[in-house]
């Protein structure tokens, strides 16, 4: 049976509070839709942790800059419902709001950008002006080339937390920096919500699942396999005792460039602080962002070592 769809925030909050009054615990899986096995694995995991699960499907304009792919972001709402209907093991509802930045006022820009980088929300003149920033963690990795991205993510997740009021919220480690930022935000702002990070779901050939993969041509998709392949090679190198990050990064960059990828970044960072390291001595994560054609892909691999 297809899940119930809740379209506005007041009904969503009412539903959650009704569940809570029945003693039920609530899981939240925030998504932007076009669901794949990575999203579905989060939903299944949520159902094992809580009594009911809310899957939000909302493409958040607050995390896209006007030059990014908001308007071409893939969507298939009825397909998403069919996929969720096939999940057994507990109750799932879908929260699919139309616009979480529309407060019913006049549409007018509250500033002209003034040379600042703005999101699609400000560009659209919706009047929203409150943002959450996780100041240090948001700066590196994806934050360098996407300056409004994590501000938008932290803000929409806060809004979803306030609307859905979940006990547990699940995030994929595919978006490693995002997961760490949300964890930090929840700690720093005393949200009473448990944050769970879930392993990356991959296609059989190793490509990390992503809604954006559909925009790769067959040939680009083949070339994009260099991402997961080079990350796996790096892990094997570390197991053999090669711990120089400069050498590991060099190897990965060569593989990506050799497959005609345009590298945004290759970084080896501490798992908690996301600060770059030179020599692998403790747990790190190797993070990659690269363009294949017009599609920017990210992936990473955690390396736990006790050398
Ligand atoms: P998105 O719809 O891309 O915003 O993703 C929604 C949630 O699904 C985020 O927590 C992502 O990290 C997670 N997710 C996306 N792709 C994967 C994947 N391949 N494996 C695990 N989680 C994922």
DSSP 236-296: HHHHTT--BHHHHHHHHHHHHHHTT-EEEEEEEEETTT--B-SB--S-EEEEEEEEETTEE
Where do we find the tokens 């501490």?
A: 270
Please state the rounded mean pLDDT for residues 17-30. Answer: 98
Pairing assessment for the beta strands 295-303 and 284-292 based on DSSP bridges: antiparallel
> Closest Cα to atom 11, ligand 1: which residue?
172
CA distance 106 to 104: 7
pLDDT at 257 exceeding the cut of 60:
yes
What's the pLDDT at 110? 67
Contact 152 CB / ligand 1 (< 6 Å): no
pLDDT at 219 exceeding the cut of 80:
yes
Cβ pair 251, 233 in contact under 8 A: yes
CA distance 113 to 133: 18
Contact 44 CB / ligand 1 (< 6 Å): no
Please state the rounded mean pLDDT for residues 273-288. Answer: 96
- The residue among 147, 148, 286 whose CA lies nearest residue 228 is 286
- 49: exposed, middle or buried (Cβ count in 10 Å: 0-12, 13-18, 19+): middle
CA distance 115 to 129: 16
| Confidence tier at 305 by pLDDT (50, 70, 90) | confident
- 91: exposed, middle or buried (Cβ count in 10 Å: 0-12, 13-18, 19+): middle
Please state the rounded mean pLDDT for residues 244-250. Answer: 98
3-state secondary structure of 85: helix
CA distance 14 to 20: 10
Provide the angle, in degrees to the nearest 10, between the axes of the packed helices 149-164 and 9-21: 50
CA distance 46 to 35: 15
Ligand 1 centroid, distance to 212 Cα (angstroms):
11
Q: Which residues, including other chains, have CB under 8 Å from residue 229's CB and lie 6 or more apart?
A: 206, 255
pLDDT digits (tens, 9 = 90+) for 142-162: 999 999 999 999 999 999 999
Query: Which mutation among 172, 213, 227 tests ligand 1's pocket best, with the greatest number of atoms within 8 A of CB?
Result: 172
Query: Which mutation among 27, 28, 30, 42 tests ligand 1's pocket best, with the greatest number of atoms within 8 A of CB?
Result: 42
pLDDT digits (tens, 9 = 90+) for 70-93: 999 999 999 999 999 999 999 999
Query: Which mutation among 45, 174, 178, 183 tests ligand 1's pocket best, with the greatest number of atoms within 8 A of CB?
Result: 174
Global confidence as pTM: 0.96
Q: Which of 39, 159, 223, 249 is catalytic?
A: 39
Please state the rounded mean pLDDT for residues 186-215. Answer: 97
What's the pLDDT at 114? 67
> Closest Cα to atom 18, ligand 1: which residue?
38
Contact 63 CB / ligand 1 (< 6 Å): no
Ligand 1 centroid, distance to 25 Cα (angstroms):
22
CA distance 145 to 296: 11
Catalytic, 36? Answer no
- The residue among 86, 126, 68, 61 whose CA lies nearest residue 1 is 86
pLDDT digits (tens, 9 = 90+) for 98-141: 999 999 877 776 665 567 889 999 998 888 999 999 999 999 99
């Amino acid at each position: 049976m297809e899940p119930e769809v809740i379209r506005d925030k007041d009904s969503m909050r009412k539903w959650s509070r009704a569940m809570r009054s029945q003693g039920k615990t609530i899981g939240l899986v925030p998504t932007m839709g076009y669901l794949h096995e990575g999203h579905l694995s989060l939903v299944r995991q949520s159902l094992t942790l809580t009594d009911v699960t809310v899957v939000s499907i909302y493409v958040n304009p607050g995390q896209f800059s006007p030059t990014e792919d908001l308007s071409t972001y893939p969507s298939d709402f009825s397909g998403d419902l069919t996929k969720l209907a096939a999940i057994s093991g507990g109750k799932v509802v879908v929260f699919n709001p139309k616009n979480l930045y529309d407060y019913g006022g006049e549409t007018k820009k509250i500033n002209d950008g003034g040379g600042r980088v703005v999101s699609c929300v400000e560009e659209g003149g919706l009047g929203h002006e409150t943002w959450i920033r996780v100041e240090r963690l948001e700066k590196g990795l994806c934050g360098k080339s996407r300056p409004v991205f994590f501000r938008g993510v932290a803000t929409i997740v806060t809004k979803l937390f306030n609307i859905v009021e979940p006990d547990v919220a699940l995030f994929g480690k595919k978006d490693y920096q995002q997961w760490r930022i949300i964890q930090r935000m929840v700690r720093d702002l005393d949200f009473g919500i448990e944050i769970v990070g879930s392993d990356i779901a991959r296609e059989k050939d190793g490509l990390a699942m992503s809604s954006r993969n559909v925009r790769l041509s067959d040939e680009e998709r083949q070339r994009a396999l260099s991402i997961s392949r080079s990350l796996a090679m790096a892990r094997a190198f570390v197991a053999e005792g090669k711990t120089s990050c400069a050498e590991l990064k060099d190897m990965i960059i060569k593989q990506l460039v050799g497959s005609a990828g345009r590298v945004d970044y290759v970084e080896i960072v501490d798992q908690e602080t996301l600060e770059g390291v030179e020599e692998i001595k403790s747990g790190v994560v190797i993070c990659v962002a690269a363009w294949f054609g017009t599609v920017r892909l990210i992936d990473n691999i955690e390396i736990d070592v006790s050398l």
